[in-house]
Amino acid sequence: MPRRFPIAVVAALAVALAGCSSTGESSAQDPDAPIEIWIRQAPGSDSEKTAQRLAEAFTASTKIPSKVVAIFDDFETKLQQQAAQRQLPDIVINDTAQLGNMQQQGWLREVDRGTIGGGDKLADRAWKAAQAADGKYYAMPFSAQSFALLVRADWRAKLKLPAPKTWAELADLGTAFTERDPDGNGKKDTYGFVVPGTTQRGYMSWYFSSYLWANGGDFVEAAGEGKWRPAINNAKSVEAATWLKEQFCTRKTVNPGAVNLNTTSSHEVFEKGQAGIYLVGPYVLARFVKSMGTEKIEAIEVPKGPSGGPGTLAEGENVYLMAGSDNEAGQVKFAEFAASVEGQTIGMNADNPGAIVRLPANTTVDMATVRKDERWGVFQKAYDTAGVYTPNVPNWAPFRQVAADGLNAVMADCASDVRQSMDRLAGQLGAELSKQDVQAA
């Protein structure tokens, strides 16, 4: 259950975890106290049901009571409210990109990668996403994912077009889906690209990042030990932004209203056959297979850009052990269970909708024995060979939001100058680097 603690001493409560018990536990510890688990999923969704099964299996294994709280809208805001009330949950399962934000506020306990049970079975790449800018770990890796293109296979077959291997071919596919009536209804009512381009939660930069990295560009780049400089206005980054703007403004192959849509709405655009190319993670694959039919969907790796690649966004979810818990040993046990083969298998949910483990963080899990849909293998390959996590600055959240605001403005205004806009965005990213005291001299 939520625990009360003085905000001023939150940082002092962060302790290293070792095995099934933690060192430095506070004096009011109760190893039988219930564990409250928050997860960023819609209440009543298949994903919440999967999380409930994970918690039930944990309780059956450890005899520690547990409760799942599923929240989707304004998840981070509600965590802030709980912190203000001194009642953070015991466990939070949340995006890897939120680590810096939560760690800077003193909400997280440190995790000892070398001694926590099962830590040696988790992928090094996944552990990197649990590491803060100070080099320490503040979470247990739980789920990984990469991004690939979900494409309407039936549309592509009808138009007799090849699977895109270059950005030029991808753009041509988008144009064909827009201009050549791929659904055969005699109307010009389809588009090429589904884009969740709102500024909400930084979605525009989140979506764009795969194209950015596929062309060898970046938001910021390392410039010495712990220092960074803006890279969003280098030639490769500008080229990537220019290519995406061409889809919006020149070819006009992006679904209408994209600059105001989040992923919830964008899923429906693809599902309803309004557009046929969706750069997205594997978490919606089972949903689309169920609602649209498996024969209509294919997974294709993001093509290399003309100046770089391969590259695609890698991210996932961590199990965060929150400061102030009355059952720190129980927190550790939950983290270990969630990362175990049993926990990962429950979270993967086979080929059914509601997976909360997209790609397993545990390297001993054989995904092929859990899932029979071979399209998952496209995402696994992309993660293994081309996955790029967000830069390891102290707190990525402000960068993602600033970049989303800037990129959204470019895509929304076809008269905008990409080079000037990226120069302006570079200045804003530089200001944030300076604010976080990591800007290169």
Query: Which residue ranges make up each domain of the chain?
Result: 7-146+314-388, 148-280+396-435
CATH topology of domain 7-146+314-388: D-Maltodextrin-Binding Protein; domain 2 (3.40.190)
pLDDT tens digits, one per residue of 121-135: 999 999 999 999 999
**Residue 270, amino acid:** F
Other C-beta atoms within 10 Å of 85: how many? 11
Residue 139 contacts residue 320 (beta carbons within 8 Å): yes
Alpha-carbon separation of residue 124 from 127, 140, 409 (angstroms)? 5, 12, 37
Rounded CA separation 214/388 (Å): 10
Which residues pair with residue 421 across a beta bridge?
none
What is residue 15's predicted lDDT score, i.e. its pLDDT? 36
Tokens encoding 67: 């409760």
Q: Which helix (H) or strand (E) is 405 found in, with range?
A: helix 397-412
What pTM was estimated for this model as a whole? 0.87
**Residue 341, amino acid:** V
Residue 138 contacts residue 320 (beta carbons within 8 Å): yes
Who's near 402: CB < 8 A, 6+ residues apart?
425, 428, 429, 432
Q: Which helix (H) or strand (E) is 320 found in, with range?
A: strand 312-321
Residue 319 contacts residue 337 (beta carbons within 8 Å): no
Rounded CA separation 179/271 (Å): 19
What is residue 441's predicted lDDT score, i.e. its pLDDT? 86
What is residue 220's predicted lDDT score, i.e. its pLDDT? 98
What is residue 28's predicted lDDT score, i.e. its pLDDT? 84
Tokens encoding 247: 């889809």
Please give the mean pLDDT across all residues of the chain. 93
Parallel/antiparallel/unpaired status of strands 35-39 and 148-152: unpaired
Q: Do domains 7-146+314-388 and 148-280+396-435 have the same CATH topology?
A: yes
> Over 19-86, what HEC string results?
CCEECCCCCCCCCCCCEEEEECCCCCCHHHHHHHHHHHHHHHHHCCCEEEEECCCCHHHHHHHHHHCC
Domain 148-280+396-435, CATH number (from 3.40.50.300, 3.40.190.10, 2.102.10.10, 3.40.50.720) = 3.40.190.10
Rounded CA separation 202/230 (Å): 18
What is residue 27's predicted lDDT score, i.e. its pLDDT? 52
Per-residue pLDDT of the chain (441 residues; tens, 9 = 90+): 444 443 333 333 333 333 333 333 445 899 999 999 999 999 999 999 999 999 999 999 999 999 999 999 999 999 999 999 989 999 999 999 999 999 999 999 999 999 999 999 999 999 999 999 999 999 999 999 999 999 999 999 999 999 999 999 999 999 999 999 999 999 999 999 999 999 999 999 999 999 999 999 999 999 988 999 999 999 999 999 999 999 999 999 999 999 999 999 999 999 999 999 999 999 999 999 999 999 999 999 999 999 998 999 999 999 999 999 999 999 999 999 999 999 999 999 999 999 999 999 999 999 989 999 999 999 999 999 999 999 999 999 999 999 999 999 999 999 999 999 999 999 999 999 999 999 998
Residue located via tokens 């899990």: 365
